[in-house]
Amino acid sequence: MKKTFAILASLLISFSALADEGMWLPSLISQRIADMQAKGFKLGAEDIYSINQASLKDAVVLFGGGCTGELVSAEGLLFTNHHCGYSSIQKLSSVEHDYLRDGFWAMTRDQELPAEGLNVRFLERMEDVTSQVLDGYSLNMTESERSELVTRNSEAVKKAAVAEGKGLRASVEALYYGNQYFLFVYRQYDDVRLVGAPPSSIGKFGGDTDNWMWPRHTGDFSIFRIYAGKDNMPASYSEENVPYTPKKYFKVSLGGVKEGDFTFIYGFPGSTREYIMSEGVRYISEISDPAKIDLRTKRLDILKRYMDSSQKIRIQYSSKYASISNAWKKWQGEAKGIDKMNTVAEKQAFEKRFIQWAKGGRYEGLVERIGGLYERLVPYDFAREYYNETVRAVELINFASNWPDGNVDAFYKDYHMAADKECFVALMNAFKDNVPEQFQPEYFKNGLASYGSVEAWADEIYGKSVFADEKAVASLSKDASLDSDPAREFAKEFAKWYSETIVPVITVINSELDLAYRDYMRGQMEFQKDKTFYPDANLTLRVAYGHIAGYSPSDGVYYHPSSTVKGIMEKDNPDIFDYNIPQRLRDIYAEGGHEDQPVCFIATNHTSGGNSGSPVINENGDLIGLNFDRVWEGTMSDIVFDPEFCRNICLDVRYLVFVVREIGGAGHILDEVEFTN
Ligand code: ARG
Ligand code: GLU
């Protein structure tokens, strides 16, 4: 009896596990809609994606080429994350108007600030074009002949698709390792203006300390508006442009969320690898992640020491530090999560069964072949990653290598040479110690022999390179010959080694891997007939659904799924940059009545980088939040999803409303939004 119950319970768990994992193609959502409805969703498949009528997809945009945004009014008003709008807000800022520090609120439409270079894309339609893309393919083609054919056919498909109208952009993307191809047709709008942003002390509250972590209290939102020509079609910036009228926009729910509520995320996840072989996972979790974490720890330690020593350096390096630490932290969670889930061993066991099943058929020997390819790839890929995280991570070397590209003033404004030199020494010593000798450039080995040490070499570069002298660089002629400049030479020689000895091998192996994975993907689908597959993320529009849920990060601890302003006050500390909140928030809180003001929540939706800013939608299709992060214990979900630990972190839209009205004093911005309860 007990045993039956245990089996039943484990069946139930694995069923619900399957249910919350997945990033589904909107045009195929009819295959999932019954499950979504069984879990509480009240709308139908055509409400999510339709080419015949306005649907929710028309209210979602690819924002700035790497994030997601959503339309929330009939006049083109758009919400996304603060960290997605960050670089636009920064570019619009100056010493007199520091919108990052102080926030920005347009009091009238005239005050909305054009964000140059920013665009948004609406998905017009998506379509399976596999047969067109593979037209002319025959089995005896080599992989490179096949990929030439795919490129040629895709170009023709894209060309036909964009001929239809203004601002159209098309891409053809491979799904399931090229077993399927989809056409995506977007309409791109280039006149996008900043409407509102909270001060960073709200929009980035918790900074890198809280990044990738729960409990979270970040007001990670910014507000923009899309402008169009008088015909509502894309137009480059002009005073004549008018607010864009969307086919569809979200109503904003003030009804609140509670544990168990249905949630649905609509957005553009960037990249996942759920179907790779155990060897691929082992490389990531046991070799690549630890090596990169170690290199970044070295840099972060050095930078932190300098930043703690001077306010000026802290400002110069805060954004660089943030971007170094973002992936650094994610990799730690990822490697740990993969280890905890025993994914390598699980995959190995699966592969054993697969090999058994494949005997005598077309998939015989495939897994072994992929294993062999990894064996060849790994040392080269390790050298590639090491190069990227060392040589290319040194600011001076990078700048010297790109010159005359790159903005001289901008570079030196945020450059502190002593810190960079220390990074050079630490990183290149690691290169010397950890990259196997036969994979190191001869140039490097010879240089080390003649200088005697990385330190001595650093003295030469940082003492003699023209790039170590801002004034000298400013007066350099663009065609000056710099072949003997030690920084330039270092960059060039490494680049040469990289492109001549590392890249060609990786390219060849990767193309064999592509081919093998195409088979392996199909093989997995044939082998696991009852499993529901979803294509790996590739920055195309996806639906992920789940529910609001807390989790237990470790024994004896349970994390509730929502956070409140009370938690902000608990963290508030004027002496700690990441936790120093605006005085106005302290004052409002002191008045009382705001203890329970919601701030963030977590849910079980399967998301990835690129889902930042994605609308979080309730059972009625109304907006309840903005996705902006994942919990640290669940960042392995790009490789393997664990329903127990994988949670996405969302801004509760009611905090957005609170901040706009109470902190920004800009409630008028939300007058055009339709609220529901
Ligand atoms: N971890 C989130 C995302 O990749 C947020 C990153 C921005 N925030 C920060 N504190 N660095 O990518
Ligand atoms: N912060 C991520 C982004 O910028 C989203 C979080 C994630 O990777 O899930 O897209």
- For residue 543, the cross-strand partners are 24, 266
Residue 491 CB-half CA count within 13 A: 21
pLDDT band at 261 (very low <50, low <70, confident <90, very high): very high
609 lines ligand 1 (CB under 6 A): yes
**Catalytic residue (one of 82, 83, 547, 606):** 83
User: Does pLDDT of 4 surpass 50?
Assistant: no
Pair 266, 614: CB distance under 8 Å: yes
Output the pTM of the full model: 0.92
In a mutational test of the pocket of ligand 1, which residue from 326, 607, 608, 632 has the highest number of ligand atoms less than 8 Å from its CB?
A: 326
Shortest CA distance to 195 belongs to which of 117, 90, 112? 112
Pair 640, 85: CB distance under 8 Å: no
User: Does pLDDT of 569 surpass 50?
Assistant: yes
Whose tokens are 């023709």? That residue is: 156
69-83 core/surface letters (b: 16 or more CB in 10 A; e: else): bbbbbebbbbbbbbb
Distance 609 CA to ligand 2 centre (A): 4
User: Does pLDDT of 9 surpass 60?
Assistant: no
Q: What does each C-alpha distance from 316 to 312, 415, 457 come to in angstroms? A: 6, 7, 26
**Mean pLDDT value across residues 561-571:** 98
* Residue partners of 1: CB distance under 8 A and separation at least 6: none
User: How far does CA 175 lie from the centroid of its chain?
Assistant: 19
List the structure tokens of 130. 């596999």
Distance 249 CA to ligand 1 centre (A): 26
629 lines ligand 2 (CB under 6 A): yes
pLDDT band at 311 (very low <50, low <70, confident <90, very high): confident
Whose tokens are 């439409």? That residue is: 109
Whose tokens are 């603060």? That residue is: 82
Please tell me the distance from the alpha carbon of residue 208 to that of residue 206, in angstroms, as a whole number: 6
- The helix/strand/coil state of 114 is strand
User: Does pLDDT of 25 surpass 60?
Assistant: yes
Ligand nearest to the CA of 607: 2
Q: Give the model confidence (pLDDT) of 87-145 as tens digits.
A: 999 889 887 899 999 999 999 999 999 999 999 999 999 999 999 999 999 989 988 89
Task: Return the higher-pLDDT residue of 8 and 222.
Answer: 222
Q: Is 612 a catalytic residue?
A: yes
Shortest CA distance to 202 belongs to which of 184, 223, 217, 186? 217
**Mean pLDDT value across residues 241-246:** 98
List the structure tokens of 23. 């990033």
What does residue 389 show for φ and ψ, rounded to 5 degrees? -90, -5
82 lines ligand 1 (CB under 6 A): no
32 lines ligand 2 (CB under 6 A): no
- For residue 183, the cross-strand partners are 127, 172
**pLDDT at residue 19 in the model:** 55
What is the end-to-end Cα distance of the chain in Å, rounded?
Answer: 45
**pLDDT at residue 17 in the model:** 41
Pair 494, 387: CB distance under 8 Å: yes
* Residue partners of 580: CB distance under 8 A and separation at least 6: 201, 572, 573, 574
Evaluate the omega torsion of the peptide bond into residue 379 and state whether it is cis, within 30 degrees of 0: no
Please tell me the distance from the alpha carbon of residue 3 to that of residue 107, in angstroms, as a whole number: 65
**Mean pLDDT value across residues 362-383:** 97
Distance 325 CA to ligand 2 centre (A): 13
Interhelix angle 366-389/343-358, rounded to 10 degrees, is 150
Please tell me the residue having the least CA distance from ligand 1 atom 5.
Answer: 629
Q: Give the model confidence (pLDDT) of 152-204 as tens digits.
A: 999 999 999 999 789 999 999 999 999 999 999 999 999 999 999 999 999 99
List the structure tokens of 333. 């969670």
Whose tokens are 């295959």? That residue is: 31
208 lines ligand 1 (CB under 6 A): yes
Q: What percent of the chain has pLDDT over 70?
A: 97
- The helix/strand/coil state of 652 is strand
610 lines ligand 2 (CB under 6 A): yes
**pLDDT at residue 481 in the model:** 87
Distance 219 CA to ligand 1 centre (A): 12
Most confident segment among 6-15, 343-352, 479-488 = 343-352
Q: Give the model confidence (pLDDT) of 485-515 as tens digits.
A: 999 999 999 999 999 999 999 999 999 999 9
Closest approach atom of ligand 1 to CA 326: 11
Q: Give the model confidence (pLDDT) of 332-341 as tens digits.
A: 999 999 999 9
**Mean pLDDT value across residues 538-551:** 98
Q: Is 220 a catalytic residue?
A: yes
**pLDDT at residue 11 in the model:** 44
Secondary structure of 435-466 in the HEC alphabet? CCHHHCCHHHHHHHHHHCCHHHHHHHHHHHCH
Q: What percent of the chain has pLDDT over 90?
A: 90
305, 309, 314, 317 alpha-carbon torsion, rounded to 10°: -40
